[in-house]
Structures are given as structure tokens and as C-alpha cells.
Amino acid sequence: MKRRDFIKNASLTGMGLAVGNALTNCEENTSDQNKELTNTPKNNSKRASPIVVATWHVISATAKAMEVLNQDGNALDAVEQGCRIEEANEKGQTVGKGGLPDRDGNVTLDACVMDKHGNCGAVVYLQNIKHAVSVARKVMEDTPHVMLAGEGAKQFALSKGFTTENLLTEASKEAWEKWKIEAQYKPIINIENHDTIGMLAMDKNGDISGACTTSGLAYKLGGRVGDSPIIGSGLFIDNEIGGCVATGLGEEVVKTVGSFLVVELMRQGKSPQEACEEAIKRIVNKPNSNYKNFQVGYIAINKQGETGSYAIHQWFSMTKFQNGVNEQIQSGYFNKT
Ligand code: SD4
């Protein structure tokens, strides 16, 4: 058996069975105590129409995702196809091709996906392969693993038919050359650097999936990985409750496991908007928080099709496509000074 086949089989047999048992056990456990712990809001309401939301102003990406949903694609297909639009957009300097490099001039990509079953896949420090989100999906579907890094991720992608290309465009190279003149040995954390695309979709069956893809912070230290490919931080989906994706300074999102936090707050009964606001408060209310110097933004969706978004600073926005309307919505923000 080839190594690749072995990996695939392992995911479908041993490990698959383990997960299957765990799920079965959960379903069978109907004790009152367990119900209380789970505290899942009831989903008696009418099913919402298909919906796509994404971080920042990415109308073409949400349009693509909705096109997939309208053609009976599922939420996972929608978020993957939507994110690919921005990964291929050379003008976007924070995602895929054209992404700004690290301080050594290397473009390194992070991405993840999570589906309605709670399956997930991620790649970190991926180089020379533009569609990191699709590689992340392959990790989820074709291996028993959740995350592949660096050269291993690249070799895996090549084995799946992805091809390599230079992701550093002339414009991004020029910007990097300019940055090098004054290069300060600290992460640049002003809000203009944050443009990760995180996308959540709910399909006609009411199932939710999400994806997140980025070239990370511009001029980061070589090897640095942010929140975007970390399940629970950059993205989290619980198909019983809803989903959340993050953008901004990944280090601060990781420290509060932001996307998981938002979903858990929704589980406790908060609306997506309230949950995003509470998660931002966790960051800014920390003793000695220097939140004035960095941006973090969250967008969220719940099972009823309600959405929310909130950030530390002004000018964060969410693109939302529902009922034929594809629009950019400015987010509320914490720092009014
Ligand atoms: C990171 N959260 O790597 C990402 C950066 C980001 O738009 O959001 N860029 O920390």
C-alpha cells in the first residue's frame, strides 16, 4: 500500500471509528446533567435562507460563495470557492498571491477550513502554492491529520496536484523593499495590515461551514504563524450553534481562543453581535492591554441566520450576502477615543 493510501485508509477506519464512537456516545447520553452542560439553544425557528458573510470588503468572494450555494453546493464548497477568489486576487496584499512577505521576503500562507461535522484541516507556513484554503481542505479530507506545516504541507499539496508559483508580486516586493529602509524589529500592527479573509456560510439545509486564509502579518518574523489557521482561534464552527472567524493581530486572538469563545457565548444564549462584543471586551479589558495599538475583529453567524461583527477599532467591516443583497456593512467598534 502506498503511504498516501495508508493515510487515507487510516482516516476512514481506525481514527474514523474512534470519532464515530465518540459521536454515538454523545448522542446516546441523555442524562439531565449532560443536557445542562451542553446547554444547546433550541432550534425551533424557521430555517433562514442561505447566507454568506466574510471579513472586510470582499464582494466578489461572497458573490462566488453565494453562486455555489445557489447551484445547490454545500456550505463547505461555498466558503472554499469564495476564499479562492481573494487568494487569486494579486491586488489583495494580505492573502494568497500578492500577499506581503515576511521580513526576509518570503510569502508564507496560513489557512484552515471547518465543516458541519466539526471536521477541520489547516496548513501553516505554506510557500509557493496560492490556494492554501484548498490544501487545508485536502488535509481535512484526505489525511487523518488536522494541520500540516511548511515543506510537509507543500509536498502534500504537490502530491495532490497543486502547482507551485512565485507568490511575491512586483508590487509586494516593492512595498517590502520600502519597508526595509526603516525596518523596525517589531511586528507592524496598525490596522491597514489586516485583511485576512474569513468566511462563514449557511446552505439551504441550514448547515454551516467556515474557512480562513491569509498571508499573515506583513513583515512578520520568518516562521511566525498567527491565529488564522488555528482552529478555535481564527475559526470555529459548531453546526448546532453557529460559527465565527477572526481577523487582526493573531497573537491577541490566540490568547483568548477568540472564535471558540464567540461560539461558546452564543451557546449560552448570546446573539452573534453580543458574542462578538463580549469577545472583544475580553481582549481590551485585560490588565495592561495595549489594545490602542492593534486591531482585532470578529464576525459570527448563528443557526437562525443572525449575524454580528465587532472590532476594537473603527473601519472593520463585514461583507454579507443574503436574500439577493450583497453588501458591505461597517462594524461597531470599542475604541471611541
Ligand atoms: C494573522 N490574523 O496572521 C492574521 C492577520 C490578519 O489581515 O488578520 N490579516 O495574525
Cα–Cα nearest to 173, from 248, 267, 90: 90
Q: How far apart are CA 196 and CA 273, in angstroms?
A: 20
Helix (H, G, I), strand (E, B) or coil at 201: strand
How much is the pLDDT for 199?
98
CB atoms near residue 22 (< 10 Å):
10
How much is the pLDDT for 92?
75
Q: Which atom of ligand 1 is nearest to the CA of 249?
A: 10
Q: Is 240 exposed, middle or buried (0-12, 13-18, 19+ CB in 10 A)?
A: middle
Q: Which atom of ligand 1 is nearest to the CA of 194?
A: 7
How much distance in Å is there from the Cα of 66 to the middle of ligand 1?
24
How much is the pLDDT for 98?
76
Ligand 1 contact via 198 beta carbon (within 6 Å) = no
Cα–Cα nearest to 83, from 110, 122, 54, 118: 54
Ligand 1 contact via 302 beta carbon (within 6 Å) = no
How much is the pLDDT for 89?
82
Residue 98, all three cell numbers: 500578492
| Burial call 176-206: b when 16+ CB within 10 Å, e when fewer | beebeeeeeeebebebebbbbbbbbbbbeeb
How much distance in Å is there from the Cα of 39 to the middle of ligand 1?
32
Q: How far apart are CA 91 and CA 60, in angstroms?
A: 13
Ligand 1 contact via 226 beta carbon (within 6 Å) = yes
Q: List the alpha helices (DSSP H) in 146-198.
A: 150-159, 170-182
How much distance in Å is there from the Cα of 187 to the middle of ligand 1?
12
The residue count for the chain: 337
How much is the pLDDT for 40?
46
Residue 307, all three cell numbers: 449575524
Ligand 1 contact via 187 beta carbon (within 6 Å) = no
Closest CA to ligand 1's atom 9: 194
Q: Determine which one of 62, 196, 214, 319 is catalytic.
A: 196
Cα–Cα nearest to 246, from 318, 189, 175, 303: 318
DSSP summary character for residue 210: E
Domains for the chain: give ranges and CATH numbers: 3-7+47-333 (3.60.20.30)
Q: Is 130 exposed, middle or buried (0-12, 13-18, 19+ CB in 10 A)?
A: buried
Helix (H, G, I), strand (E, B) or coil at 320: strand
Q: List the alpha helices (DSSP H) in the chain.
A: 3-12, 14-28, 32-38, 59-70, 75-88, 132-142, 150-159, 170-182, 250-255, 258-267, 272-284
How much is the pLDDT for 66?
98
How much distance in Å is there from the Cα of 176 to the middle of ligand 1?
17
Cα–Cα nearest to 195, from 104, 49, 311, 79: 311
How much distance in Å is there from the Cα of 237 to the middle of ligand 1?
19
Ligand 1 contact via 277 beta carbon (within 6 Å) = no
How much is the pLDDT for 85?
94
Q: How far apart are CA 235 and CA 246, in angstroms?
A: 7
- Per-residue pLDDT tens digits of the chain, which is 337 residues long: 333 333 333 333 333 333 333 333 333 333 333 333 344 444 445 777 999 999 998 999 999 999 999 999 999 999 999 999 989 887 777 778 778 889 999 999 999 999 999 999 999 999 999 999 999 999 999 999 999 999 999 999 999 999 999 888 888 888 888 888 887 755 554 444 456 899 999 999 999 999 999 999 888 899 999 999 999 999 999 999 999 999 999 999 999 999 999 999 999 999 999 999 999 999 999 999 999 988 999 999 999 999 999 999 998 999 999 999 999 999 999 999 8
> Edge to edge, what strands does the sheet with 197-202 contain?
147-149, 120-126, 109-114, 208-214, 197-202, 51-55, 317-322, 325-330
Q: How far apart are CA 114 and CA 246, in angstroms?
A: 14
Residue 117, all three cell numbers: 461535522
Active site includes 196?
A: yes
Q: Which residues pair with 210 in a beta bridge?
A: 114, 200
Ligand 1 contact via 233 beta carbon (within 6 Å) = no
DSSP summary character for residue 313: S
